[in-house]
Amino acid sequence: MRNTAVILIPALIITTLLADKGKNYAKENVCQGLKDIGIEKFKEMVTVLYSQKFPNGTFQEVSCVADEMTKLAEKCCKDDASPDCYDKGATEISEKSCGKDSPFPKHPGIEQCCTLQGQERKLCLASLRYTADELPSLTEPTNEEICTEYTKDEKDYSVRYVYEFARRHRNIPAGFVLNATQNHVRMAERCCRPDIKNSCFLQERLQMRSSNIFLKFLSNVCNNQVNLKSFKFGLSAYYGNLLGLSFEEASAMSGHFHSGLEKCCLKPQPECIIEELTSFQKVICGESNLNAMSEDFHKCCKKPALDTLLCLDDLKRQPRQSPDVANPVSSKLCEEAQPHGIDRYLFLTGVNHASISLPVLTTVLDRIKNTVTACCSSADITTCLTEKESKLKMTQALLSKLDDTCSRYFRLDLPAFKTRMQKEVQGEGGEKRTQAWLDLAISCCSQRSPAQLCQKLFITRTSRSQIRLQTEDVIKYDDDTV
């Protein structure tokens, strides 16, 4: 990976921007951050944080709140500023957020925060986090488009790029967004004057290629971490399949990776996630793993730490035959004497499926976990599991069907895949149901599929599905689920 200079954000300033912890604490740390990075970088950083926080907000709305925060810092960090300057200003901003004609971004849940007063309101507003679908990736403009917009207003171009990039990467450290913006603006600066130099753009894009690939990987895994409830279980099955690990080995490895993402994805400082991913590379490429791994795995582990993870993520998983999942599900899963019984059951359910993406696999496993866990909490565990047996069988059959569908999607070109699905999906509404499967495959078979979209597509497409596995797989839907 290209060794670009990552802009590090002072750790102390972050919590005061996103959660006011106290009058003196807030002022001291905001002022220290302003002093360390200067007013322009300070405003860029605030723009990143609020673009990530309010991805549904317009550029004007996000710029407005960033301007207010920057002016507040400038005003209250002067030597002659009153001690309560920052606290008063922050209170005024929170009151403006709750105004009927507020110029700030509108956020789901803001109404509830605005029923509170003082510090409680500020903390509530700071804790709001947007949970709607991921925005599509930023379309790469042509060289001519970049130069036209850049030469109009260099400063405005930079801020707008920060806004657009940040709102599409809302679960990665803000420092990576600033670094990507710096690289992009530097490219425009070098390649647009005096005339558009296409060779210059080509060279710059080649230099940024590995960094951009890493950002896509990081954005994907952090989105999964933030949005998938049972991501850790999905990771266990994934690593068990990819590396041929036992339940215990896969659980330990997925736990290491999961805890690193949980700790660092939403921290604005990039060094946290870099340290965690580097540490994970040492674990996954340890001697105990290397001895039993393929030649391709060895090649990946010879790369620099971050490149190793990208390389491993692209390795093809192989179908694996693990012990059969208990069917029907035994009440022993719920016994304290059998530690991690449900976790092991989920691992054995998911590990045999090599083609299904992590978002879809995790969503299916979460559905199974909820069903089994509910029974383990019931008065009569055995009766509950017996009643849910058909539902669990149907969900496991659906998992196999999804895996088979994605396997064919990867093997066939799109027209051949569509023809195959049309032959399988027969009966009334066949065209709509075929399209439903196409949408799910195109959007969600890829390993780096968007977590929230795939959860929604999966639930919509399968919430009332009936699966019959006889001479051929036939999936039927009620009309209102497609």
Entry pTM: 0.84
Residues 221 and 287 in one domain: no
Query: Per residue in 211-237, pLDDT tens?
Result: 999 999 999 999 999 999 899 999 999
- Could you give the dihedral angle defined by the CA atoms of residues 373, 377, 379 and 385, in that order, rounded to the nearest 10 degrees? 10
Clarify whether residues 281 and 261 are in a common domain. yes
User: Where does a domain end: 296, 317, 338?
Assistant: 317
Structural domain contains residue 137: no
Check residue 322 and give its pLDDT: 62
Instruction: Classify residue 233: in a domain, yes or no.
Output: no
pLDDT at 443 over 70: yes
pLDDT at residue 179 greater than cutoff 70: yes
Whether 464 shows a pLDDT value over 50: the answer reads no
Domain region containing 381 = 321-474
Q: Count of domains in the chain?
A: 4
- The answer on 303 and 330 residing in a single domain is no
Shared-domain flag, residues 434 and 361? yes
- Residue 480: inside a domain: no
194 with 298, same domain: the answer is no
Any domain includes 134: no
**The pLDDT of residue 466:** 37
Same domain, 325 and 311: no
User: What is the structure's pLDDT at 6?
Assistant: 41
Measure Cα distances from 267 to 128, 173, 335, 449 in Å: 15, 5, 38, 23
**Structure confidence by residue, pLDDT tens digits, 139-168:** 888 999 999 999 998 888 999 999 999 999
Same domain, 332 and 468: yes
- State the pLDDT at residue 469: 33
pLDDT at 21: 47
Tens-place pLDDT, residues 231-285: 999 999 999 988 888 899 999 999 999 999 999 998 888 999 999 999 999 999 9
Classify 474 as helix, strand or coil. strand
Do residue 423 and residue 470 come from a single domain? Answer: yes
User: Other C-beta atoms within 10 Å of 139: how many?
Assistant: 8
- Please identify which residue in the block is written with the tokens 């951050």: 33
Of the chain, the end-to-end C-alpha distance in Å amounts to 43
- Whole-angstrom distance, CA of residue 54 vs CA of residue 52: 6
Query: pLDDT for 288-329, tens place per residue?
Result: 777 778 888 899 999 999 999 999 988 888 777 666 565 557
Asked whether residue 421 is assigned to any structural domain, the reply reads yes
In eight-state DSSP terms, residue 479 is G
DSSP-assigned beta bridge partners for residue 475:
467
On whether both 343 and 461 belong to a single domain, the answer is yes
Note whether 445 and 337 are same-domain residues: yes
pLDDT over 80 at 475, yes or no: no
The CATH number that applies at residue 215 is: 1.10.246.10
Distance CA 211, CA 264 (A): 18
Query: Is the same domain home to 384 and 334?
Result: yes
